[in-house]
Chain A
């Protein structure tokens, strides 16, 4: 095979600058965000690195987003990687999550959210969900409209069924917190 001697640009300048520029712009915030989960600076650094590694792997998806969505994507990725690192550390959380029952997928909060106050209650309950459920909610609802379970499964490296289960369990727990089901208590150690 004989090759033409041609010019090669090192990279597409826009792409490399965007990901590395975003890293330079957001790295301290990303680290603080990861610290909320890991409480450990080294682990938080690992989470930031792993997050940007996964962003580069999925850069086609990433560059299809607008600027604000890209930032959300980055923070969701950082938190996800931080949770992954912690989950590797703490097996007891895993069994707790498996014990959460699944109410039928009929998520109806229509008559619970009546005004601004009850809406803010909903927001606060979301904030207190276990990380794994907040994470799946963010993957499903934060990134773009009508994101399918299949797309989420592919990115997280889990089955579509697992995605569906987590979403249903997350909704179940949310309903319980809002008083629309049996209050589920975390088992004591």
Chain B
């Protein structure tokens, strides 16, 4: 037998022996009488935090993937649709009420009407259900995105941005839309149809800002959160 073949045979024997050594070790450990062991609370907390962080990374990555896809489909960039109009002072001066256009798969909310005086406020809900933890805050030049997460997997995503010329596209293929007026503010409530994978959503316009809430929680809780949104002092 030539040297090359001998080496190949040796490698094969070695591989097999390493696998068998590992399996024998594992079998010995598994067959040992196990002393009852309780992991420390510190360890359990670290493991929970580890899996939560990973879930959050996945969620944000999927959110931005889907946001990009939607932008391509419905041309959400203001510059594409209203590029020339934005330079028109009259147009900007007359931004007022929401115009709802229902397209086949997407509902576009375009906010037109009186010019809003958009202040410098930051906004936050004063009510968030118990057990949710703030996990992400993303600043945009015209708004903010905030995400809370619950250990049971539920999440709340709160976003707001300047209403001037804003367009928000909502996938309405598997959802139902309704309106409710509370304290003078009209809330658009988007409810997923049974069997749909979509989340519950609430959208409203207030003080020159567009606000959206997306969550695995139902619309009743979302509305409670929505009406608690106020400027941060």
Q: Check if A and B associate.
A: yes
B18 touches A137 (CB 8 A): yes
Instruction: Tell me, yes or no, whether A122 is within 8 Å of chain B by CB.
Output: yes
Contacting residues of chain A (65-83) with chain B, CB-CB under 8 angstroms: 72, 75
Partner of B7, one of A1, A106, A142: A106
Inter-chain CA distance A53–B153, complex, in Å, is: 20
A109 touches B10 (CB 8 A): yes
Inter-chain CA distance A4–B203, complex, in Å, is: 12
> When A2-B167, A29-B29 are in contact, do A138 and B22 touch as well, CB less than 8 Å?
yes
Inter-chain CA distance A5–B106, complex, in Å, is: 10
CB distance from A117 to the nearest CB of B (A): 13
Instruction: Tell me, yes or no, whether B40 is within 8 Å of chain A by CB.
Output: yes
* B155 to A, closest residue via Cβ: A10
Inter-chain CA distance A161–B67, complex, in Å, is: 44
CB distance from B102 to the nearest CB of A (A): 15
Determine the chain A residues whose CB is within 8 A of the CB of B54 once the complex forms: 11, 16, 19, 56
Inter-chain CA distance A52–B34, complex, in Å, is: 22
Query: Which one of B58-66, B92-100, B120-128 contacts A?
Result: B58-66
Best-surrounded residue of A15, A122, A138 (most CB of chain B within 10 A): A122
Instruction: Tell me, yes or no, whether B179 is within 8 Å of chain A by CB.
Output: no
Inter-chain CA distance A31–B14, complex, in Å, is: 28
Inter-chain CA distance A19–B55, complex, in Å, is: 11
Instruction: Tell me, yes or no, whether B50 is within 8 Å of chain A by CB.
Output: yes
- When A and B form their complex, what is the total count of cross-chain residue pairs whose Cβ atoms lie within 8 Å? 166
Inter-chain CA distance A127–B71, complex, in Å, is: 58
Inter-chain CA distance A7–B197, complex, in Å, is: 8
Determine the chain A residues whose CB is within 8 A of the CB of B190 once the complex forms: 5
B198 touches A10 (CB 8 A): no
B198 touches A107 (CB 8 A): no
* B202 to A, closest residue via Cβ: A5
Determine the chain B residues whose CB is within 8 A of the CB of A171 once the complex forms: 14
A19 touches B157 (CB 8 A): no
> When A8-B157, A138-B22 are in contact, do A49 and B214 touch as well, CB less than 8 Å?
no
Number of residues of chain A lying within 8 A (CB) of chain B: 53
Determine the chain B residues whose CB is within 8 A of the CB of A126 once the complex forms: 17-18, 21
Determine the chain A residues whose CB is within 8 A of the CB of B149 once the complex forms: 10
> When A2-B168, A3-B159, A32-B29 are in contact, do A141 and B59 touch as well, CB less than 8 Å?
no
CB distance from B166 to the nearest CB of A (A): 6
Inter-chain CA distance A113–B220, complex, in Å, is: 73
CB distance from A179 to the nearest CB of B (A): 15
CB distance from A63 to the nearest CB of B (A): 13
Instruction: Tell me, yes or no, whether B216 is within 8 Å of chain A by CB.
Output: yes
User: Which A residues fall within an 8 A CB radius of B?
Assistant: 1-12, 15-16, 19-20, 23, 27-29, 31-33, 36, 41-42, 45, 48-49, 52-53, 56, 72, 75, 106-110, 113, 119, 122-124, 126-127, 134, 137-138, 141-142, 171, 174
Can you give 26 contacting A-B residue pairs, CB < 8 Å? Answer: A2-B161, A2-B168, A3-B67, A3-B145, A4-B71, A6-B63, A6-B67, A6-B70, A6-B171, A7-B171, A8-B62, A9-B59, A9-B62, A10-B55, A12-B58, A28-B37, A41-B37, A56-B50, A106-B7, A108-B7, A109-B14, A110-B10, A110-B13, A113-B13, A119-B13, A124-B21
User: Which 10 residue pairs of A and B lie closest in terms of their CB atoms, listed nearest first?
Assistant: A4-B70, A11-B58, A126-B21, A7-B198, A4-B169, A45-B43, A8-B63, A11-B55, A141-B15, A141-B18
